Structure 1
């Protein structure tokens, strides 16, 4: 079925998917407020503190060493401005915004699936597949994490490309890549989609949209004297100081992320294969995105469940294509038998929603109540880790307060190395740098792998 570039403003898929999304994200937010508020995890504390720090004279990549691109810092700087410098208010705004962004992303995935297939059942299945990984609605209330925004902007870029809005699609894809490096996959895809749909002119408009966003970021950091440090930290250090891995380790990590929802991975694989073989002219990008981001999680970066979220979007679209194929066959069979069309449609809806909804609930069971299989996978994960020479330094060697202390007390650290992630420590060891460096403002004298 060809891609639909225009749809009715009210669709059956949204009436079904919307309540699921609202219920789960409201429940996740309320749980965080009642159980954990205002506890803040290290990553949200870092991003939100950096936003505050920017408004108080700090320059990312000079006063703050980090491998993440700059868009999340811009978002938290705006939130910090709105908070009036109150860190509790800033945390509340960050929690609310990230929850809304994550919830909107699920609906966007459903919309993209509907634009591709024209099937309400496929759109609902795609949206529910996103919820199979419960960290999407359990971690988003904790505050700003780069992956949530990369996913949101990236899926929005796909939707805009399917609605023939090339300039906006390019701009959103650039924001995705500017939130997290793997968002660059969305940029490649929307340029290809624009060329496939409308030719070179729209492809150039897409590139122009991305170029405007990228140009603004480059000019801002060039004016602040932070362009070279930004490139070193977000590109060179990211490629050089990544964690060691084995393929088996990554596979076990994926199984830990998906849990019982791993049953949907073969379903998605069938959808990718069908898109690549039977409808590659219009749906090639689903397979391409799935494969490229699979390479990312298997060979580049998978340190936690949030790192798999961009790939999850393409898993969901693969499931949508498979559901479209199945429902089409069911319709043909029902028509051949002379069954009532409305009754057959209701049966399809019931079957699809029931199966995927059970898997969504299984995600919560996996997250909270499956210690035995999880511990088994973790043991296999640890056994698969390659042996490596120990680093000469560890995060504990940095004489800095915890990220939570830095956040709540609004500290301006005396060193640029205060987040002290393992990537950061590996980089310091590789370059003979110092953990007590006041600023991180130049090109390293050397880089190696130890």
Structure 2
């Protein structure tokens, strides 16, 4: 009976958050099926086509140029094998899996918040804070995108570290970094968390778990002759050919991504500060992760809403810490007999208030996404009119003589050149090096890299 009561107490947050997550993600998936299916966006078409291409003998980074790490290609290859080569089935599998992964990420953030704070209202607030960016449940049904998997494996790594599963935490963190470069932040955090919790022995376990995943990837690309190309394209190219924006332009983009949910960012900053000042020994990783990923969105890469998803997880955890403080305020530990009922009632109403307030922000996110309100239009205009530093590249994606990514995907084309995705990062890299848009293979170290 005691165990059952304890489980019931620990699962109160999921009773509230779970149905909300289910409804929103099912609605997002249903909307995609009814309105856009089987239309496929460029990024999912690229990842899923590359997964199919791998089964046909193509080698990422040799036959396909891209700055993304290899894990999404591996996931897409598995889905392509399950689809039997049918691109429509592959698209359905990619859409379904990515939706499930995104929904699981929200619940994992809620679980982490509940574990850290011991507060149901804080867990609900954290999960709802993830949903203020509606692209999380509106874009995930479109298919495989790297950032969704970086988010999922990253928060899974944090959850495993908190459960004292260091080897698995290290493996999950490596998968996060192998999905998108900013996932490396999770790897740093779980190493520190392992040392904090159980010392050097757990650090070795974390490193071991990460080494197994990393070693498997390295051996696979070494065997196929793509190891050097992978390092060049996923490490060197993003550092030298990444987009250049001012901090002001990045702030504009953050406002565009969060919309009215930007009101939660100051709340998260307060939560990070409180964790750093009041409980640095146990919760240092929350402000540390939030700060490191804030540097990513401000100075490294924020070309759209999906690029902010890993940072969104730490915004949500900062909100959870702030809500925990609000719940605890005015609940004295003395005279417990006289205050138990009052405190329980207060906590219940706090949870209701949190659901109502953050829930309104979730709904406002949908208005922001679909309604294109005046503030959003104004910010977008400012962003589009702002010019990045440096000279524009002498070539553009339009200079590449290749079909659209959608045509390549549906017609199962094996391109004659390795440059067929033709992102702006890609054309900048071609302009800065001795590479060519019509190169057959992208399998060497550049002889030069001219910046600016």
Equivalent in the alignment of 2:87: 87
For the pair 1:436 / 2:438, whether they are aligned, the reply is: yes
Equivalent in the alignment of 1:113: 113
Pair 27,37 (structure 1): closer, same or farther in 2 beyond 3 Å: same
Conserved? CA contact 2:28–2:141, under 8 Å: yes
SS at match of 1:184: helix
Question: What do the CA deviations read for 1:110-166 (whole angstroms, capped 9, x no partner)?
Answer: 001111111111100000000000000000000000000000000000000000000
Equivalent in the alignment of 1:71: 71
SS at match of 1:332: coil
Ranges in structure 1 where 5+ consecutive residues have no aligned partner: 1-6
Equivalent in the alignment of 1:345: 347
What is the alpha-carbon distance in structure 2 between the residues aligned to residue 36 and residue 213 of structure 1? 36
What is the TM-score of this pair, normalised by structure 2?
0.96
Conserved? CA contact 2:241–2:429, under 8 Å: yes
| C-alpha displacement of 1:432 | 2.7
Question: What do the CA deviations read for 1:282-326 (whole angstroms, capped 9, x no partner)?
Answer: 100000000000000000000000000000000000000000010
Equivalent in the alignment of 2:185: 185
| C-alpha displacement of 1:343 | 2.3
Equivalent in the alignment of 1:371: 373
What is the alpha-carbon distance in structure 1 between the residues aligned to residue 113 and residue 413 of structure 2? 45
What is the alpha-carbon distance in structure 1 between the residues aligned to residue 423 and residue 385 of structure 2? 23
What is the alpha-carbon distance in structure 2 between the residues aligned to residue 134 and residue 21 of structure 1? 12
What is the alpha-carbon distance in structure 2 between the residues aligned to residue 8 and residue 215 of structure 1? 39
Equivalent in the alignment of 2:38: 38
Q: How many residues end up aligned between the 2 structures?
A: 444
For the pair 1:355 / 2:357, whether they are aligned, the reply is: yes
Conserved? CA contact 1:334–1:344, under 8 Å: no
SS at match of 2:446: coil
Equivalent in the alignment of 2:3: none
Equivalent in the alignment of 1:209: 209
Conserved? CA contact 1:334–1:341, under 8 Å: no
What is the alpha-carbon distance in structure 1 between the residues aligned to residue 392 and residue 350 of structure 2? 56
Question: What do the CA deviations read for 1:88-114 (whole angstroms, capped 9, x no partner)?
Answer: 000000000000000000000000111
Ranges in structure 2 where 5+ consecutive residues have no aligned partner: 1-5
What is the alpha-carbon distance in structure 1 between the residues aligned to residue 159 and residue 335 of structure 2? 33
Question: What do the CA deviations read for 1:32-89 (whole angstroms, capped 9, x no partner)?
Answer: 0000000000000000000000000100000000000000000000000000000000
Conserved? CA contact 2:245–2:389, under 8 Å: no
* Root-mean-square deviation (Å): 1.5
Q: What does 1:17-416 align with in structure 2 at a 5 Å threshold?
A: 17-332=17-332, 338=339, 340-416=342-418
What is the alpha-carbon distance in structure 1 between the residues aligned to residue 303 and residue 390 of structure 2? 17
| C-alpha displacement of 1:391 | 1.4
Conserved? CA contact 2:244–2:389, under 8 Å: no
Equivalent in the alignment of 2:429: 427
What is the alpha-carbon distance in structure 2 between the residues aligned to residue 66 and residue 429 of structure 1? 15
Structure 1 runs (4+) greater than 4 angstroms displaced: 333-339
| C-alpha displacement of 1:449 | 1.1
SS at match of 2:442: coil
What is the alpha-carbon distance in structure 2 between the residues aligned to residue 244 and residue 345 of structure 1? 47
